[in-house]
Amino acid sequence: MPKINAMNHGPKNTEAKALTHTEIVAAFPNFNHEITRWVEAGDWVSFEGTFTGDHTGPLAMADGSVPPATLFAFICRAQSRGWRSGNEKVSENVDF
């Protein structure tokens, strides 16, 4: 299975994307994304995977508050589809 960089997900704005990734890593230091299925058709790609992690660090809320870490583990199944722009990197994607 191809390795997927978590930076490819989320906001399209590079600065916002870096901030989102930084916040996730701080809140879930053992965050992991395992790809379980990958399908390609021309420039279109689709994959399924599982996100896992333990909430042991700070995670700022939309209102600016930072509640204490819950210490709970999470498991989230996810799917993504997107397309490439000819350079083998997924240039646009939709996650659900």
The per-residue pLDDT string of the chain (96 residues; one tens digit each, 9 = 90 and over) reads 444 444 444 445 555 555 577 888 889 999 888 889 988 888 888 889 998 999 999 988 878 888 899 999 999 998 888 877 666 666 666 666
- Residue 57 CA to residue 63 CA, distance in Å, equals 18
pLDDT for residue 18 = 58
Q: What is the pLDDT of residue 6?
A: 45
Q: Is the pTM of this model over 0.75?
A: no
3-state secondary structure of 51: strand
User: How much is the pLDDT for 23?
Assistant: 82
Domain definitions of the chain by residue range: 6-95
* 6-95, CATH topology level: Nuclear Transport Factor 2; Chain: A, (3.10.450)
List 35's β-bridge partners, or say none. 49
Would you call 34 exposed, middle or buried from its count of C-beta atoms within 10 A (0-12, 13-18, 19+)?
Answer: exposed
Q: CA–CA separation, 94 vs 92, rounded Å?
A: 7
